[in-house]
Every structure is written in C-alpha cells, then in structure tokens.
Amino acid sequence: MIHGMGDPWLMGRSVEDARAGYVVVGSSGVLAPIGAALRSAGHPAAGISRGSRLEQGDWDERVALDARDPDAVASWLATRDLLPRTVIAYAPATSPEAFARLADGCEVAVLVVPSAWSDPGGSDALAASWQLADDVRVLRLGWTGGPGSARWHTAEEISAAALALALDPASEEMLGRVRPWDERPGAPVIREEPWPSVTGGVGFAQGVYGDQGNLELVAADAAGDGIWVGWWNADDEDHRAGAVPGSWSGAKRFADGHGYVQVSITQAVAGPSFLEVLALSPTGDLDRHVWTPTDGFTRHGTLLHDVVAAAPLVVDGQGDHWVVASTTDGPVVLHGRPDAAYPVLELEPVQTGVAALALLPRTAWVVGATWHTDHLDLLAVDAGNGKASGVALWCCGATDAAATLRVDGDVTTGSIAAQGNSLAVAVCAAGRAVLVLLAGPPAPTDLGPAENATVTPVQVGPDRAPEWHVVTTHGTTATHHRHRADGAAVTVPQPVAARAWATPDTSSLHGHL
C-alpha cells in the first residue's frame, strides 16, 4: 500500500509501462494530488474537470470536460490515439454511463465513491444504479478519528489511497471507517431548544405531510413581529431529519412586520394540500395567508375589518372554504370554492349555508367552527353587551339546537373540533383551560392555567385509537396536551419546545422561512 505520494513502487515504474497513461476525473478536487505523483514518476496523466478550477493539480494535459455527459466523454475519447491505460474517477464528478465509456478498454478502472455509498439507509440502491463491471476497483471513502473528533480525509489522503488501489488490486478498498454511521463528521445530532415567546390564540391542526400526518402549529410572535410555524412529528419511524418522532420542530417565522393577536391554521384539500392561515390583528383586520410548496407562506390580503373574533377556516365535504367571524356589526360568513386559480380565492359574503348561525344571539362572538360529518357546527361565547366573556354555546347545524356548556366561570375563548361523530371543545374560563367531550364524560378535563386553548383530532397511526390534542397558551408559553377519546391523558403535558435533528454547527433550530 502506498503511504505517501513519493512511494518507491510507483517511482520505479517506467513510462513505457504506462502506455497511454492515466486519466483522472475529478482532477481539480479530491484527486488533484495524483497529478504531481504521476508526473514526478514520469507517467503521463490527463486531468479532467468541468473547467472552473483547471489550474488545480499538476497535469501533463488539462481537459475541460463535463465527465457526467457520456456523449461528451465519447467525443473526447474519439480524439485520442490511444485509450488510457488507467482511469481513476471520483463518482460525483462523473455518471454511470460516462464512466462506463471511460473504463471500456482500459486495463485498470478505479471508482472513488463518497461515504453515501455506505449509508445504511440507501447505499445498496445507489451502488446498484452504477452497474459496475466486475473488474472495476471501488475505493469507498469513510472518515477518520474517534467520536467527537471525526473528520473527512484530505485530498492527499484520498489521492494516495486511490493511486494505491490503481497500482495494486490487493490494496485497501476502504479509506477510514463508515461505522457507526452516526459518528460521521457533520452527522445530525438531536438538539433541544425552547420555542420563541408567543401570544394570543394559536392555530393547531393535523396535516397530510409525513407518514402519519404531522401536526401543524402557528402562533403569533409575542413581540408583534409575524407568525411562528412549526410541526409535531406524528411518525413512528425516525428519518433523522427535522423533528424527532413525538417532538416539535424548530419554529420558522413568516409575515414579518405584522402583529397579530389570534391565528389559526387549516389543512386544505385544494392545491393540492395547501395550508390556510387566518390571522387577526389588534385593530380587527382578518388577514389570509396560504402556504404552498413552491412559495411558502404568502399573504393574500385582508378578508374583513372590525373583527372581534374569528373561527378557523373550515373546509367542507366538497372542498369548499368557509370563514365565520364576528365583527362589531355582527356575524359574517364568507364562502369560496377553490378553482384552477387557487390559492387566489374569492371569499364572498353569504346569507345562507350555515344553519348554526341562526341559533346565535347577536351579541355572541364566534370563536370556533368545524365540519361535522355533513354540516357546520359553531362554538361561540355569548358576550352580551359587548363583553369579551360569558357562556360557551355549541350550535349544531344538523339539529338546529344550541347548547350551553357547563363550565365554571366566564368563558373567554375556545375552539371546537370533530372526529367522525365525536366532538370536542376546549375553552378557557376563570384563567384555566378545560377539555369538554360532547359525547364523552360529563365532567370537563382540567388542562391547567391558560388564556387560550385550541383542540384538534389526531390519528397517530392506522392501528391506534384516535386522540384529541390541545395546545394551550399561558403567558408567552405554549403547552401540548394529548388525550384519549375518553378524555384520559395519554402523556404528561409538555411545553412546546423544539427537539429536532440538526448539524453540529447549527446555531439555532429557529429562523425564517
């Protein structure tokens, strides 16, 4: 095995033995030192790179060529009087088809492959995609150093090992180590970090992203500078990216410069699968933001003015969008049907279509809405005489009945959610949040001190019973609660805090979208 670039075995080889010489692909990167070693031994060598750093390395011939293009490689080979004796190529600098053309007819072909070829999660498929001939010698790159001090190999170390394998098939085919995989340099590690300070009512819903459907959370920045968004990983399998299963991601901010006192989020069907956010400003403007995979969150204007309370946008069984809000002039209902222009959407005031609205006193503030099988149910706070607190009213659009929820103290806010035939309500009264299952036990479940509470149904796996999840806010901190269908707690409530995979040099799990 060669231990340095001046290895005597190499130095003793003659120019005649090299015949048409060496061709090295990746000659301006990790294989650049090979040029000086070959030239000092009198072996002609051509270095191929895409041209951005042709000056790197010491080559008899410098070739500006995209070695990933098999046709370009074939055209270049056609200009040669002799085929190369030896080809050494760095896999990311070429392609399977192009490398096959370079290696065809040569005596020795060496392919230097990165550590990704040893990734336990997908290396077999990667190697199979190259369909290498049996006589191709493969040098697998790993890393060196122990836990906490691991580093990638230098260009000199990689070049020495590649040249050793080209000269002697018995040389090592692995440079360094590739196990344990978690100890590779820059490998993600689990980071924990409190969420930024938030304020007001939060938006909370299960989306369609992830294997099981992640939970999406939006919350207004406590300093009045935009909206924070994050997600709770509902998956069982840890993909070692983003939030750890059963944990929250870092928070990402959008809508910079806009202050809000209440936000909500809804998983839309249209788009497909865009996310709708409604955000209420301190001055009563109800803004609409929409997330798309291409543009992230984009503000789509103000829907209403003089709003005192608003329910989350509701998507009905036909995919139509409904917005129910209370203004200083009374309740307002907006309706829209997404078409090819979506997320651009005209939400127009309507006088019919929400039977539950007729059940509300004019003084009530609508705080929640949900699509319940085939109709819209509403949750309102009867704020008689303009008061911001009172009794909680559940209005069922199917039975044309309104029921007063038995909760101690004046209710200030709340939310309602449906899961099949079941309904859950989370409300805040007397400075505490309670969970009320309308088809469950008569006694509300106390959730602790809170000024706001949002409930959503969660399916955490195909073989598991559905759950009700609630996010409450107290001061500037959000807390995540999990409850079974019978109201019993699944886990101890946990503060919404990021626990996610990140590279060691990541300064924070939070940032901007």
- The predicted-structure confidence for 37-59, as pLDDT tens digits, reads as follows 998 888 999 999 986 566 778 89
- State the pairing for strand pair 307-310/296-304: unpaired
Residues of the chain with pLDDT under 70: 1-20, 51-54, 353, 383-389, 440-442, 461-462
Contact 471, 462 (CB under 8 A): no
Cross-strand pairs, 484: 467
Q: How many Cβ atoms sit within 10 Å of the Cβ of residue 142?
A: 18
Give Cα separations from 417 to 368, 381, 450, 481 (angstroms).
8, 16, 19, 15
The structure tokens listed for 416 are 């309602």
pLDDT tens for each residue of 271-298: 999 999 999 999 999 999 999 999 999 9
Run of H or E including 252: strand 252-254
Cα three-residue angle 249-250-253, rounded to 5 degrees: 125
Cα three-residue angle 198-203-209, rounded to 5 degrees: 115
Residue 96 preceded by cis peptide, ω within 30: no
Contact 313, 276 (CB under 8 A): yes
pLDDT tens for each residue of 386-415: 455 677 888 877 777 778 887 888 888 999
Contact 224, 477 (CB under 8 A): no
3-state class (DSSP) for residue 183 = helix
CA distance 443 to 407: 9
pLDDT at residue 3 in the model: 29
The structure tokens listed for 139 are 């040098």
CA distance 454 to 433: 10
Run of H or E including 17: helix 15-18
